[in-house]
Structure 1
Amino acid sequence: MISDELKSLFDADDDGLLDTPEKPTRASAADRLERSFVEIADFYREHGRAPSPDTRDIAERKLGARLDGMRADEDKTAKLTHLDEFGLLADPEAPASLEELLEGDDTDLLNDATGLLDTSDLPTRVQRNEPDEIAQRVKSNDFDSFAPLFVQKHAELADGTSTLMTFRGLSQIVEGAFFVLSGIMVFVAGVGAAETSASGRTKQRLRCIFENGTESSMYRQSLSTRLYEEEGYAVVQTKFDSILADDRATGYVYVLRSLSDDPQISSVADLYKIGFSRGTVEKRIAGAEHEPTYLMAPVEIVASYRTYNLKTSALEHLLHRVFSEVRLSVNQVGKDGRVYEPSEWYVVPLPIIDRAIEFIRSGDIVHYEYDADLRTLKPRY
């Protein structure tokens, strides 16, 4: 029984200060997923483009990586389709050539098939007026021993075995690395021992040889700063079988075989899934029997290909385009009761998939197409 004094106190609480606050409803996984996508859509609405996973802006990079993850997950894509007013979840257009796979080539540098031996065609920016830095450059007395290296590197740029990639950070600056700074190619001929300044910071002197016959002993951090500020480039090799210290692993393209006992799956010969993963393939396929994208059944890894300096998802989309005519058409019911249509399963002999990847490595894939009747890759005419 509430006393009269307490009753009068409650009756006088016009502002509801004594009311028991309502317990907030806990957000579900679906709610969190939708809120995450709405943030991406808001970015597009404000900037007129999708967020990039490669920008230096941390906030945008997080949104770009999140969008890539959603595009790669068919379950998430299906759950977010009703919110995708800008078509952000659609697969990116497949590249028309190997060069378009190379990460960081947002400036169409590789479209210039000629003139790369002329240093005037290298990316240039207006140089800052820094007399201290200019004064540090002196004539290289033994430049003749380095000149052939620059000739070779320009030849590699011309034939596509090397390419220009936007500078990524201090870790790329190692002995033997090449860069383009203000339109001039730079070779890191040596990295000195670590020095500790009075403030406790560690620095390393470099021996930088410039293709104009000069050299500098700038600090490693100074070169990094200049390359960042002037949007410099690293010269990296594009061959899959030549992995250097400054090459960046970008993921895996994998081929899977279904172990399903469903007759509409098990009865199909040469049925393979072609996908990509930024992490290990084993981790990516964990719990495959519970996911529609894996046909609600365990899978077996048939092959996986480590990729470097490439947009792995673009390589995957290129393979999908080559084999689009033989994509499996089948529906799967997910744990949520919804019907899904997995889109990465193809009826094609494994040796042909291997051959297609070899053509991608050589750059010849743009000259071939898959003939479903002959079950082979044939030249485009």
Structure 2
Amino acid sequence: MTRPTLDDIFAEDDEFGLLEVRPRAAGGSNPGDRGVAVLREVTAFYEEHGRIPDTDADDHDEMRLGTIWNRASQTPTDQMIAEDRLGLLNVAAPLQVSWRDEPSTEDVPDSLDEIFDDDDLSVDPSLVVLKHATAAADRHLPDHRAEFVPCRDFELYRDRFEAVQQALERGDRQAIPVKKWAVIEPLEGDFFIRNGLLAMIAEKSEMTARGGSRDHRLRVIFSNGTESDPLMSSFRKSLNDDKTARLVQKVGMGPLDPDWESDQLELSGTIYVARSRSDDPAIKQQRMLLHKIGVTSQDVHRRVADARNDPTFLLAPVEIVAIYELKNLSRRKVENLLHRFFVSARPAELFVTDRFGKKVFPKEWFYVLPDHVAQAAKLIGDGTLHGYRYDVVRQKIERKVEGAR
């Protein structure tokens, strides 16, 4: 099939008139008519607002009209002058300042103070007030560091260190290198070699949500008679960073071997009763009845030194109101016994919100008095706690009735 040429296309009937092009009149419409139309728009604007339109206005229509008026008013036609009943053509247009223009000497400030004192630089206070940010005074700053201090009860652990050292020298126990980036979960009684010293995990306190992540506070005792209380994550990092760090192999063949738990500590500790000094109204109004019951093997005041950063302590400082020493009793078992004994007095609604907006529900706080804890501690020492119960309504420890559950 032969394709049509342009001549053939143009020779065809123009059914829709597409080829009919009307030439534009030379010179366009009458400029005077356009100027008069703009003058009438500006006159109407002036009568409504009492001013001529601003070329820098936020409103697009006003800005457009002001720009057109500035151009038209520079060369007014005779028709515009005749139509100008308000004398708008004689109104001086606002001075348009351009960044290209050289500033006058008076406009150049002499100092920074003069710049900041300029009223035109005033800023809405809401723009400079920090929101959703923790104040500097309330930031995550520890009240103490996990420094090395003399271990006050090192004599209780000396034999353990000597036994482990001798076992390593005989080859009965192996020191396994700690691999870099290894995730280590230390348990109470575990031994490590760090910076050339034997280190024993003497205590692993209750879990907390410090820093937005779950963690434990450790009590680590070293073979040179010192101790420290780092967070478990910090201790793990120190092992990873130490190229000579070692994990001392446990005794026995595995978790099913009775000797596997031989390193576990069953030494006595201290029962402490703490009272919150929180400014939270919900906690403050019941602070004389709400107490934390804890058991620790380290110095009690060192244990609570960083309370304001620890959700376990309601993110607030605490005061120690009572201390009871344990004698030849398992610290972990005593703590579990006390918490189970007073479980009916545990406030289910108690929680704190950490820095990340997450709710934390501490489980170590109870509506009890220090005297109640003292009485329960004595019953534990006598081995008769199982024969008593705590009546949360009467706030009294009473003997169980025979046959009652």
Give TM class, smaller chain.
Answer: 0.3 to 0.5
TM superposition score normalised by structure 1: 0.39
Richer in strand (by share): 1
Larger Rg: 2
Highest relative contact order (Cα 8 Å, sep 6+), 1 or 2? Answer: 1
TM superposition score normalised by structure 2: 0.37
